[in-house]
Structure 1
Amino acid sequence: MTQPIAIVTGGSRGIGRAIVRSLAAAGYQVAFTYQRDHVAAATLLEELRCAYAQASFSAHACDIAEPTSIQHCFAEIESQYPRIDLLVNNAGITRDGLLASMPLADLQLVIQTNLIGTLLCCQQVLPSMLRQRQGCIVNLSSVAAQKPGKGQSNYAAAKGGVEALTRALAVELAPRNIRVNAIAPGIVNTEMSTALVASQAEAIHERLLVKRYAEPEEIAQALLFIAQAHYLTGEVIALNGGLKMP
């Protein structure tokens, strides 16, 4: 049986790294992108190649905030792989702050990376998936889209847009047997999340029904479920430990 092929953006660290590892273990060939951390990307690539010698893996530098970088990166990936079965739009950033004093650059960068970048990555894989008449796209949203914290106006707007995009694109692509879903994690035990919640850790812990943060591997488990659930499309799967509104 031919091994399925996946692209994972932001795959060298955190949730993305856990997703890449899980896909490899499930039999996927994986191309993943990274932006600056060449060492982390190279380390993960070597790990995959040693553990799964029968599969093909590759790492590609890409700035998801730059349309030209996305275009070049996806062209490079498609020159190495015969098709694309799964796209995971995981890459994202935060620039939290009060909207009244937020620099325009922070507002624009968060929207450009998290929302426009996701749109453009979807656009890049569609010709291949449309020709195949099959495919799966999974976007990473956030609990902030529905239950934002203070200072998350730009991030919540971007992730809310990702959820709307997910539903709209699912409708658009259903006739070609292409499914589009999203995962909306809560607080995940990653470097980025730890830095963000440092001053609010106790308050956030009180709002969680499951009294701990998610591990990246748990988000990856949900991703694998979605990739294999062929009757699931247009949905946003909340994975937040029962995070309650204040």
Structure 2
Amino acid sequence: MSRSVLVTGGNRGIGHAVARAFAEAGERVAITHRSGEPPRDLVDAGCLAVRCDVTDTEQVEMAFKDVEARHGPVDVLVANAGITRDNLLLRMPEADLGAVLETNLVGTFRVLKRATAGMLQARKGRVVLVSSVVGLHGSAGQTNYAASKAGLVGLARSYAREMGPRGVTCNVVAPGFVDTDMTRALTEKQRDAALAKIPLARLATPEEVAATIRFLTSDEASYITGAVIPVDGGMGMGH
């Protein structure tokens, strides 16, 4: 039987690819998006789009109620919503630290907490948190982003210990440089510098990250929990 899948930040980039992959596999997929219209291809594929800012607890609650009414309790949660506010630490406004932590880390906490009740009742569930290679080895100019993504590892591993006896797995995917709108905004010099650090000498596609996430939610991965899986072309090797 198909499962109820929720992908936060599913309107573009990695989240979009994840939603498509689950929809093509016949799952009942819902995505959250903060603004604008949901992607037409996902709507045409049968995905439910709900407007939700993960920094707002009431919006998270309303989004889950909508998804549950249409698709049933969430069986698979992919927490992908995130933002960046890059700057050197010395020049970084404290508000930019707070905004990134509030979305990337606290926002993930909110959706994870809300999904837990249904998974506890069902005594099963699959959770994947989307972190970053930056959260594992750091990046100059991204102290706020790196801290938020590193925090997801501790969150996931603690949650995995709490929920393992209840049949729920929780893992982390840590993408490296992925061909999305974010990396397309890099200058040619920045892009070349990034590629020089990647043994496979290319960017990942969003579909490659989505495939890893789908595996971690499959029956084949039922004995994997608390793991951090890099999808980075070898960029963060050793972490």
TM norm structure 1: 0.92
> Counterpart of 2:54?
64
Which ranges of structure 1 fall in alignment gaps of 5 or more residues? Answer: 50-56
Post-superposition Cα deviations, 1:185-216, rounded to whole Å, max 9, x if no partner, equal 00000001222565411111111100100000
The aligned counterpart of 2:224 is 232
Pairing partner for 1:170 from 143, 147, 160: 160
Cα offset for 1:76? 1.8
Shift of residue 79, structure 1, vs aligned partner: 2.1
Q: Which amino acid aligns with 1:241?
A: G
Q: Which structure 2 residues correspond to residues 73-84 of structure 1 after superposition, within 5 A? A: 73-84=63-74
CA distance in 1, matches of 2:207, 2:62: 30
Mapped contact 1:12–1:44 kept (Cα < 8 A): no
Shift of 1:104: 1.8
The whole-number CA distance in structure 1 between the counterparts of 2:215 and 2:92 is 38
User: Alpha-carbon deviation of 1:44?
Assistant: 2.9
1:47 aligns with 2:41: no
CA distance in 2, matches of 1:104, 1:206: 32
2:181 to 186, 191, 212: 191
| One-letter amino acid matched to 1:20 | A
Which residue in the other structure is 1:21 paired with?
20
Provide structure 2 residue ranges, at least 5 long, that are not aligned to the other structure.
none
Q: Deviations over 1:39-90 (max 9, x none)?
A: xx151333203xxxxxxx3100011222222122112212222222100001
Alignment of 1:157 with 2:154, yes or no, is no
Q: Distance in 2 between matches of 1:215 and 1:149?
A: 21
2:107 aligned partner: 117
Q: Deviations over 1:86-111 (max 9, x none)?
A: 00001100001011121122110100
Residue 52 of structure 1 corresponds to which residue in structure 2?
Answer: none
- 2:83 is aligned to 93
Partner SS, residue 208 of structure 1: coil
1:222 and 1:36 map into 2 onto residues whose CA distance is: 27
**1:103 paired residue among 88, 93, 102:** 93
Supply the distance in 2 between the matched residues of 1:167 and 1:239 (Cα, whole angstroms). 18
User: 2: distance between equivalents of 1:243 and 1:227?
Assistant: 24
In the TM superposition, what is the alpha-carbon distance from 1:244 to its structure 2 partner? 5.3
Q: Could you tell me whether the CA contact under 8 Å between 2:17 and 2:207 is conserved in 1?
A: yes
* TM-score, normalised relative to structure 2: 0.94
Partner amino acid for 2:42?
L
RMSD: 1.4
Choose 5-14 or 189-198, whichever is displaced more: 189-198
What is aligned with 2:32?
Answer: 33
- Aligned counterpart, 1:242: 234
- 2:171 is matched with 181
Cα distance between partner residues in 2 of 1:92 and 1:133: 28
Query: Given the alignment, which residue of 200, 205, 211 partners 1:215?
Result: 205
